[in-house]
Structure 1
Amino acid sequence: MSDEPTNKRNTRKRKKSFLKNARKYGKKGYYGRGSELDADTYQYFIRIMETYREGFANDEERSIFADNVFEQTVSKEVECSCNQVGCRVVETLLPFSNDDTLRKFMEAFSSDLRRLCGDRFASHVLEALVVQACTRSFTSSDESKSYFKEFSAKISKFLLNNLEDYVWDTYGNHIVRTCLENLVQLPKEGNKNEGRVKVEENQDIPEEYVGIVKEYGERIIVWPQFNELCSSELTSCLLQVLLKCLKKTDKKLLKKYLKKLLDEIFAPNAEENTGAGTSLSPAFLSKPVLMLLETTVQIAPPKTFTQIYAKCFKGNLPKLSKTRNTNFAVQKLIQYCTEKVEFEAMFDELSDHFAEIIEAGHTGVILALAQTCKRLCAKQGSFVQNLMKSLNCSEPEERQTNFIVSLSRFCKYGPDQPSNENLQKEKLNLHGTLILQALLDFNKPIKIVNGILGMEQTQLKDLFCNTMGSHIVDSYVKGAFVGEKSREKLVRKMMGAYREMASLKYGSRSFEAIWNAAALKAKLQIMDELCYKDGAWSNSECGKIIAAKVNLALYKRNKEEWKNSLNKVDKSALFADILK
């Protein structure tokens, strides 16, 4: 009998990719879930996905490819969309199709909307159609614009008229959200903008679209099941989208929503908290409600924001910051705070708990504090002092030189701290390095500047050649409150390390940042250093780029000509700044 594996996470099989599964089932004679496709069409779609994943030379080539594929789906638009593999192909290529193709799909879907809105595959294609119709109703020519606008309104109104059926349905709910988001052109997160034509940020939203969004808002707020909508993850997400849309279309109705949520959901019958130790708001006891609370914090006007802070957060910030599920809400609260006095109260409540929050692993709260200290120019000195203390780098004074590396790792200084020998390849803490960048933008960053300049050159070089550490240099050389002399000191300190930095991927980023900040005299010294055994670094991939940027070949051939060319570049950059 074999022993049980000690770590199931490490032995778990990786999930097979969509294409691998599709090929496997095709060999067994199963041609996708949903509607059955014939074997030739199924294999054709698999080849299409393989070709798409290989990429295209340009957008025009990709659009031609999409149009060729859609020639094969004419009169079979719904059939292909109801199949698992066909749906994936159609959904992926629709953003790159021409207007005629979109019209064919829209006409085909319009004939059987009730069934297709709830179909597990076709609903995704319908979402893609809504995205394209709404976007192109803002950007297309007059003739096409009216057609796309009509389709967008038709789908949105159909779902509105059948809201009771679709709001609780997984697929229908997602289409409702897509309609709302795209009627007002809410920006999408991450890579979801692929294939989406960019609409001007201040583009006027058609009155018809505004009216539809308002009607959704007016209907949902009076639902008898409103409380249930808040406590279900599916419907909570819909409410979050609706609130963001109302912020763009109807601030008066938005205020009604925020008041209802605060009085009935987040803090029912609660008086404003007056001190620490108060009981937690019900909002923190349910994940869907908590998600809704985070969204309201982001979009609430100042007066409502203050009420949310007082009734839901005040007196409980340390506890919420140390709890896994609720620390993100604290981050949002701090990030979206606009009143200096209010932020200072939040800071004071958390100031003695930095070490506990870091120990809990919720360093995002500390990052949010750092960024808001910078934005509101408040509590900056106290923040640095508390952070140094929490990382055991405050006293004695000589320990302060360890603060930069300790913060980059976000771990306490002590005998258990890792060696600095492999700092270049070490995975540093993202929040720690971002905080360092924020600290360099504080009004008085002297402790951070001295900490960087006090490090050994080898250690500093390794930090600057690290994937995350390389961004610290940008903040140092561009910081408005980092003095010119401090920049010059850094340029001098790194003399002797520039060849190695220039040859490395992340080091070359740091090299370029320092180079751009260096005076002419320092640049000449750097060039002399680069010329010595230049073959050792300039033949690397990154080295070639740096050699071209600093014009190494010209410098070696004629220093005076190189200086003149540098002056021309500096003057053109100066005039470019003036003409902005």
Structure 2
Amino acid sequence: MEGNRRIKKKRRNFASYLKHERYQGKRNLFGRGTHIDEETYNYLLRVMGVNISNFETEEDREIFIDNVFEEMAGKEKNILCNQVGSRAIEMFLPWASDEILLRFTCILSEDLRKMCLDGFGSHVLQQLVFVVSARLQKTQSSSPETNASQESQSSGPDISMRFKIWLQQVGQFVVNNLDEFVWDCYANHVIRTVLECFSGLPRGSTSKQKKEGHLEWLPDPEFTPSPVGEGFSLVQQCGCRILQMPEVFDYVNTNLVSGLLQTILLAVRKVDSQLCTKIIRHLLDYCILNESQAAARLMEVMISVAKRKTFRIIYIRCFKFKLQPLSLAPDANFCVQSLIKHCKTIDEFEEIFEELLPNFEELMHHNRHGVLVALGQSCQRLRCKQKEFFMQLQAAFHCVERERQVLFPLLVVHWVDYETWSMTTRNENADLPVTLPGSLLIQTLLSFNEPIKIIKALLEMDSKHLLKLLCDRHGSHIGDAFLGSKVVGEKQKTKLFMKLQGSYVALVTSTSGSRVLDKIWLWASLKSKKFILKELAASEDVVRSVKTGNVFSEIHGLAVFKRNPDNWEENQKRKERAEKLFADIIDP
């Protein structure tokens, strides 16, 4: 659902962009950058408005793309340095044939310096580097038979070799001009793209930001092979060159330099781990937390790529005895989260945990959700300090007393202490939202070694509150965790099933609640499934009036059950036998 919303928003924004550019064209403003004539400008806007995915066949799409680039023939230099033209070329390059890509490599090679420094041409250069690298990687990873068929359709080996030569040329050029390009906004991003492609990093590795403004790092992102034979060597050269530029390290608090250094660290770590360690230790003299958001992001990367010894040095020099103020700082708290997540040894984690333990309530009141979630997840991952974490969390939310403990899950998911909850519940119109961090914390607690207290609190929760929680987009994942947890016993799952009796219509008619019902169905015995369908059949009109209810009814045969329960039961048994037989074949 979230992905669909993002796609729709992106399409709306793009439609607004095209509308704005058409309006600008009527005012005889044909995009910034180099001048293009009105006819070309309007043509580019028309083809950009075509949805490429709507073509019925690949052949139709290829003809369309070929025609677009044919219209640009002889005018490429002007178009790619124009605001609208640059965007159009970027959009269509991934669909272009090898011959068209080769044509653009020749055009851009005529003046690489200008293309690197141009505000619009640099974007085309980045896209071309990425697309050519992807084509080469696809060729390298495909089977010999596939390669042979591709080569028979075009001058395959010759084009691949020319692509490699061009990539080497671009890579060597940006490395040779590193001392100049570091300071230019556009050329700086060209360097990043080259490093990402040459090291096999996913594109935009230092641009994946959450709404809070910090970087989201995978512990060990997958690297694909370098498309260029000398690719790893060029990455090493770049790492060595940056160490010989002391003036760069004075600007680690700027977004431009910080972003480049992040990319260099991520690229170098798989190519030359010793060089990566050398760069990190050099950076420790310059990267000061709490100075800027850029420095905090750089520190996150340093933590994520550091080896165990270097990680220890980072912890001692930058975090030890400073965790309390850093965990409350707007930007540095993300570094604390990264430190906790990448902590590999129990001893180190216990040091961090003990330093932060007295500050749980302060972290809660300052809404530093991420630090508490990271601590909980590391307690679960390293199998230590789980009891202490749970007890301190109860104290932070002011529900240590026995009569308050039943409210603990509600307080956590709504991220309020007991006093705030009491004041809010007096107001009948008050409606506290379920928070994502609160939901993540409860899910983490359910995977602890001994989650009996949190299980008991969930099962003793008021049915109205439980139903509201399970029908929430964040809270529904707690139901998934409860039913999917290996440490939650069958008796507790049965108690949850019984507690939800009378609520299955409400669950199935909710988008998020229907997901929980799907999980319950997977766990349920045949007798329990019959009970669910019996309850739904009594309100079939209500169930079928909602899309989620209608889908559930069709999949699980509500109409068949209502008409002939015995027939439904026989079909269900046959289906379960087939699934068991298939499972035995797949995993004997």
Q: TM-score, normalised to structure 2's length?
A: 0.87
Q: Which amino acid aligns with 1:511?
A: L
After superposition, what is the alpha-carbon deviation per residue over 1:134-192, rounded to whole angstroms, capped at 9, x for unaligned? Answer: 12111124524323222221111111111122111100000000000111121246999
Deviation at 1:69, TM superposition (A): 2.5
Query: What is residue 567 of structure 1 aligned with on the other side?
Result: 573
**Residues 1:202 and 1:188: Cα distance change in structure 2 (over 3 Å):** closer
- Equivalent residue number for residue 255 of structure 2: 233
Partner residue of 2:406? 401
Instruction: Quote the residue 1:138 is aligned against.
Output: 137
Single out whichever of 308-317 and 512-521 deviates more from structure 2: 512-521
Quick one: structure 1 residues 355 and 63, their matched pair in 2 at CA, closer, same or farther if it must change by over 3 Å? farther
Distance 1:289 1:499, change over 3 A: closer
1:118 is aligned to 2:117: yes
Aligned equivalents of 1:572 and 1:222: distance in 2? 66
- State the secondary structure of the residue aligned to 1:152: helix
| Residue of structure 2 equivalent to 1:27 | 26
> Where does 1:531-546 land on structure 2 (aligned, <5 Å)?
531-546=537-552
Aligned length: 542
1:522 Cα deviation (Å)?
Answer: 1.0
2:275 aligns with one of 228, 231, 253: 253
Residue 178 in 1 paired to residue 193 in 2? yes
- Determine the structure 1 residue equivalent to 2:246: 224
Change in CA separation of 1:84 and 1:226 when aligned onto 2, cut-off 3 Å:
closer
Q: Is the counterpart of residue 208 in structure 1 residue 230 in structure 2?
A: yes
Pairs within 5 Å for 1:33-44: 33-44=32-43
Pair 1:163 & 2:178 matched: yes
Q: What does 1:38-437 correspond to in 2, within 5 Å?
A: 38-52=37-51, 56=54, 60=58, 65-140=64-139, 141=147, 143=157, 144-188=159-203, 201=222, 203-205=224-226, 207-262=229-284, 264-266=285-287, 282-395=288-401, 397-414=402-419, 415-417=422-424, 427-437=433-443
Task: Report if the CA contact (8 A) 2:201-2:222 is conserved.
Answer: no
Deviation at 1:390, TM superposition (A): 0.8
Distance in 2 (CA, whole Å) between partners of 1:92 and 1:59 is 19
Aligned residue in 2 for 1:276: none
* CA shift digits 1:361-388 (9 cap, x unpaired): 2111111111111111121111111112
Distance 1:562 1:384, change over 3 A: same
Question: What is aligned with 2:561?
Answer: 555
- 1:455 aligns to 2:461 (yes or no): yes
Report the TM-score when normalising by structure 1.
Answer: 0.88
Distance 2:118 2:324 in 1: 46
For 2:474, what is the secondary structure of its paired residue?
A: coil
Q: 2: distance between equivalents of 1:356 and 1:451? A: 24
Mapped partners of 1:323, 1:216: distance in 2: 33
Native 8 Å contact 2:502 2:535 kept in 1:
yes
For 2:295 and 2:514, locate their aligned partners in 1 and report how far apart those are by CA, in whole Å. Answer: 47
| 1:445 paired residue among 446, 451, 455 | 451
| Partners of 2:360 and 2:372 within 8 A in 1 | yes
1:468 aligns with 2:510: no
Cα contact 1:492–1:522 (8 A) shared by 2: no
Report the Cα offset of residue 420 of structure 1.
9.6
The secondary structure found in structure 1 opposite 2:331 is coil
Which stretch shows the higher mean deviation, 22-31 or 219-228?
A: 219-228
Query: Given the superposition, is the C-alpha separation of residues 90 and 506 from structure 1 closer, same or farther in structure 2, using an over 3 Å criterion?
Result: same
Structure 1 Cα separation of the partners of residues 391 and 427 of structure 2: 24
Q: Quick one: distance in 2 between partners of 1:318 and 1:15?
A: 44
Which ranges in structure 2 are unaligned for 5 or more consecutive residues? 1-12, 140-146, 148-155, 209-220
String of CA shifts for 1:377-425, please: whole Å, max 9, x gaps: 1211111111121112221x121121112111111122333579789x8
Q: CA deviation at 1:15?
A: 13
The answer on whether the counterparts of 2:250 and 2:286 sit within 8 Å (CA) in structure 1 is no
Structure 1: distance between partners of 2:196 and 2:42: 35
484, 498, 511: which one aligns with 2:490 = 484
Matched AA of 2:317: K
> Does the 8 Å contact 1:501/1:510 carry over to 2?
yes
CA contact (8 A) 1:420 1:459 kept: no
| Partner SS for 1:87 | helix
Q: Is the 8 A contact 1:265 1:283 kept in 2?
A: no
Q: For 1:285, what is the secondary structure of its paired residue?
A: coil
How many angstroms apart in 1 are the aligned matches of 2:572 and 2:163?
A: 53
Give 2:530's match in structure 1, choosing from 524, 527, 530.
524
Unaligned stretches of 5+ residues in structure 1: 1-13, 194-199, 267-281
CA distance in 2, matches of 1:375, 1:49: 48
Question: For the residues of structure 2 that align with 1:366 and 1:207, how far apart are their CA atoms?
Answer: 45
Cα distance change on mapping 1:529 and 1:22 into 2, 3 Å: same
SS of residue matched to 2:423: coil
Q: CA distance change for structure 1 residues 433 and 420 in 2, over 3 Å: closer, same or farther?
A: farther
CA RMSD in angstroms, aligned pairs only: 2.6
Indicate the percent of aligned positions where both proteins have the same amino acid: 35
